[in-house]
């Protein structure tokens, strides 16, 4: 009579029989004293680098003052009321540099935080300061006193493959450090849900829940392959679809924050769309994946590098890409001035071009990302008629906050609260510093000079 073996027993037997095989980019799974496979040794070394983060702050709630009240109080009446609502939040973080005390987390974890506390695995609580953030990719860099810290080694996330085993470590729902495991389900993933502006995610079925944000996704060697950032779940819980920011993308952004205090995003200077079967058929293309170049901006990095409308970009620095969204995210995470080799298909032939990325912040910036009162304006570095450097209003939406403030297209902002500014980066930094009070913008309009007040 044949012995019936359960599915779980069969899987365990197959798993145990392959323990000595070292998979590409992965470590062989060690066996404990009792002969059972275990990840405990790896986690004992890696877990101390993953921390819990608690924040306190105040959300600003802006409400437009009705025109009726403005009629009674005159033209100097405030255009909006601002109320502050206290909040508390929880998340996770990863120590990436023990000597400097650098910790990476998600930008949304520490957004509007006035106080940031980091809880270590040994019970210590350390105050952290925010060095910088990039909301477009949801990365923030914190720093604590570098005393008795353990950091995690970074993996080359370009080398991971679909099917690689990964482990997620974080603080879900504030219950404490938790470990879950799974595999890499997909690469170069965009959610198409507008979670972040730049999405080039690692997708995994390792359980990720609220509070895991900013935590670590590691391989079986204990190396950091990604920063957990988002989930798709109808009720906010895990359904096996989680997303992590690749370690290489995170490192590029963090290096820029450390060097400049902000992310100086690279700019290629093209518009386009994903290549799909419909576009391929209409254009007579021989590929069904890649980034189709619809338009190349004049004097842009793409133009100078020789990219033409109709090209299909299929590689970045020798690594294949599948979509325009993936191209945009990868280019956006590289810093201004980065030299990039792009593989493309032109007239059915494979070619490579070298481009040097421009500075995105020197081009048009959506002003609402800098201050809500400037919503509706598009900004760029500019000069006045007297060759005075400042920030130009290149576009302005009617009936927007910036329009109601009194700004006009062609205006050049040259100062904030009587302090000189020369470019968009100066304006962003100054408004961040002055956000809690009345802000007076010194504006040059043709040969005239005026002040506009943000309350």
Q: What is the 3-state secondary structure (H, E, C) of 199-238?
A: CCEEEECCCCCCCCCCCEEECCCCCEEEEEEEECCCCCCC
Last residue in a domain, options 309, 343, 360: 360
Residue 50 near residue 150, CB atoms below 8 Å: no
Residues 89 and 232 in one domain: yes
pLDDT, the chain, mean: 84
Lowest pLDDT segment from 75-79, 104-108, 261-265, 300-304: 75-79
- The confidence score (pLDDT) of residue 34 equals 76
344 vs 365: CA distance, rounded Å:
28
Residue 434 near residue 428, CB atoms below 8 Å: no
Residue by residue, what is the 3-state secondary structure of 258-285? HHHCCCCEEECCEEEEECCHHHHHHHCC
Q: Give the model confidence (pLDDT) of 382-391 as tens digits.
A: 777 777 888 8
Report helix angle 324-333 to 247-260, nearest 10. 40
Residues 240 and 111 in one domain: yes
- Retrieve residue 142's tokens: 């914190």
Q: Give the model confidence (pLDDT) of 398-411 as tens digits.
A: 888 888 899 998 89
355 vs 362: CA distance, rounded Å:
17
Q: Give the model confidence (pLDDT) of 178-199 as tens digits.
A: 999 999 999 988 876 667 778 8
- The confidence score (pLDDT) of residue 184 equals 96
CA-based nearest residue to 166, from 201, 198, 210: 201
CA-based nearest residue to 103, from 49, 153, 56: 49
Residues 348 and 377 in one domain: no
Position 69 pLDDT exceeds 70: no
Q: Which residues contact 331 (CB under 8 A, 6 or more apart)?
A: 266, 267, 268, 316, 340, 357
403 vs 416: CA distance, rounded Å:
18
Residues 319 and 339 in one domain: yes
Last residue in a domain, options 211, 243, 259: 259
Residues 202 and 351 in one domain: no
Range of the domain at 71: 39-259
Last residue in a domain, options 360, 382, 397: 360
Residues 87 and 205 in one domain: yes
Residue 244 near residue 223, CB atoms below 8 Å: no
Domains: count for the chain: 4
User: Which CATH number characterizes residue 183's domain?
Assistant: 2.40.10.120
158 vs 225: CA distance, rounded Å:
9
Residue 119 near residue 214, CB atoms below 8 Å: no
Position 9 pLDDT exceeds 80: no
According to the per-residue pLDDT averaged within each range, which of 108-112, 281-285, 388-392 is highest?
108-112
Residues 152 and 71 in one domain: yes
Please give the average per-residue pLDDT across 299-326, as a whole number. 91
CA-based nearest residue to 247, from 94, 45, 54: 94
By annotation, the residues acting in catalysis are 108, 138, 213
47 vs 45: CA distance, rounded Å:
6
According to the per-residue pLDDT averaged within each range, which of 32-36, 78-82, 84-88, 307-311 is highest?
307-311
**Could you give the C-alpha distances from 182 to 63, 188, 337, in angstroms and in order?**
45, 18, 37
Confidence of residue 21 (pLDDT cuts 50, 70, 90): very low
Lowest pLDDT segment from 182-186, 261-265, 301-305: 261-265
User: Which CATH number characterizes residue 389's domain?
Assistant: 2.30.42.10
Residues 20 and 112 in one domain: no
Residue 87 near residue 59, CB atoms below 8 Å: yes
Strand 113-119 to strand 139-143: parallel, antiparallel, or no bridges (unpaired)? unpaired
Residues 353 and 304 in one domain: yes
- Retrieve residue 55's tokens: 């924040």
Residues 27 and 53 in one domain: no
Residues 330 and 320 in one domain: yes
Lowest pLDDT segment from 74-88, 242-256, 303-317: 74-88
Q: Which residues contact 404 (CB under 8 A, 6 or more apart)?
A: 79
Residues 151 and 22 in one domain: no
Q: What is the pTM of this model?
A: 0.71
357 vs 337: CA distance, rounded Å:
5
Cα 222 from chain centroid (whole Å): 23
């Amino acid at each position: 009579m044949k012995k019936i073996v359960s599915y779980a027993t069969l899987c365990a037997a197959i798993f145990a029989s392959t323990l000595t095989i070292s998979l590409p980019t992965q470590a062989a799974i060690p066996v404990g004293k009792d002969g059972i496979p275990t990840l405990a040794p790896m986690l004992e070394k890696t877990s101390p680098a993953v921390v819990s983060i608690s924040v306190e702050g105040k959300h600003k709630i802006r409400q437009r003052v009705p025109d009726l009240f403005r009629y009674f109080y005159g033209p100097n009446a405030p255009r909006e009321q601002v109320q502050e609502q206290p909040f508390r939040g929880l998340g996770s973080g990863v120590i990436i540099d023990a000597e400097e005390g650098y910790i990476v987390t998600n930008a949304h974890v520490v957004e509007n935080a006035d106080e940031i506390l980091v809880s270590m695995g040994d019970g210590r609580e350390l105050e952290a300061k925010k060095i910088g953030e990039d909301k477009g990719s949801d990365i923030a860099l914190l720093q604590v006193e570098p005393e008795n810290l353990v950091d995690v080694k970074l993996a080359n996330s370009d080398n991971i493959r679909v099917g690689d085993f990964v482990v997620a470590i974080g603080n879900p729902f504030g219950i404490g450090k938790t470990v879950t495991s799974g595999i890499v389900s997909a690469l170069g993933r965009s959610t198409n849900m507008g979670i972040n502006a730049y999405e080039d995610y690692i997708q995994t079925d390792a359980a990720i829940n609220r509070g895991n944000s900013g935590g670590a996704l590691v391989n079986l060697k204990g190396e950091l392959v990604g920063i957990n950032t988002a989930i798709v779940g109808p009720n906010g819980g895990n359904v096996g679809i989680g997303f992590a920011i690749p370690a290489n993308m995170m490192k590029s952004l963090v290096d820029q924050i450390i060097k400049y205090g902000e992310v100086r995003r690279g700019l290629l200077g093209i518009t386009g769309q994903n290549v799909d079967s419909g576009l391929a058929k209409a254009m007579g293309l021989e590929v069904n994946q890649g980034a189709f170049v619809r338009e190349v901006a004049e004097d842009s990095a793409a133009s100078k590098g020789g990219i033409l409308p109709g090209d299909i970009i299929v590689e970045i620095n020798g690594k294949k890409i599948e979509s325009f969204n993936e191209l945009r995210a990868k280019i956006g995470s590289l810093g201004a001035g980065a030299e990039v080799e792009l593989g493309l298909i032109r007239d059915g032939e494979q070619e490579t071009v070298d481009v040097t990325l421009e500075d995105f912040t020197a081009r048009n910036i959506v002003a609402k990302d800098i201050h809500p009162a400037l919503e509706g304006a598009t900004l760029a570095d500019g000069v006045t008629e007297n060759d005075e450097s400042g920030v130009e209003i290149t576009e302005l939406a009617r009936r927007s906050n910036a329009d109601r403030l009194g700004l006009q297209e062609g205006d050049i902002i040259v100062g904030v609260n009587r302090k000189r500014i020369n470019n968009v980066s100066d304006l962003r930094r100054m408004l961040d510093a002055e956000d809690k009070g009345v802000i007076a913008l010194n504006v040059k309009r043709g040969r005239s000079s005026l002040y506009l007040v943000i309350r």
